Amino acid sequence: MNNILADIADVMDFLKLPSASFAYTDKAADAYAVIEPGHDAFAAYAGNFPGRDIQRARITVGVKSGYSDLKLKITAALLWQEIGILDRSYLGYDADGGYYTFCFDVEKGYGVKAYKDLMRGFEDGAGR
């Protein structure tokens, strides 16, 4: 099944930006990202079956310098991977760690074929 967390992790790997899901526990680099799942929804109902699985996530980024450049690179890479950007927000400066912090709220729609395949098993009695 498709997963927005994995897709975002691939983007961060492409950018060579250290990242983790839920919490970044490694020794912090000059920049890092934390990926958290958000709200999931089904959209575009037709014939009582959803047409898309919409998954959302939040990417929180900490960077010591080059905030604007990194924001631009992440934006371009997310859009290139067809990950929609709902919001970009500056969260503030962490004086203790020396990081500028900002976040992206993102979403991506996936097909529902995997769900249909699972449902076939229910009809056959194999999904119980």
Residue range 99-126, pLDDT digits in tens: 999 999 999 988 776 666 666 666 666 5
Residue range 40-64, pLDDT digits in tens: 777 656 566 666 788 999 999 999 9
Of 34 and 113, more confident:
34
Evaluate whether 70 touches 29 at the Cβ level (below 8 Å).
no
CA distances (Å), origin 120, targets 39, 92, 113, 126: 26, 49, 11, 9
Give the whole-angstrom CA distance, residue 48 versus residue 57: 26
Q: Residue 104: how many CB atoms within 10 A of its CB?
A: 22
Instruction: Give the type of residue at 66.
Output: G
Q: Which structural domains are found in the chain, ordered by start?
A: 4-123 (3.30.2000.10)
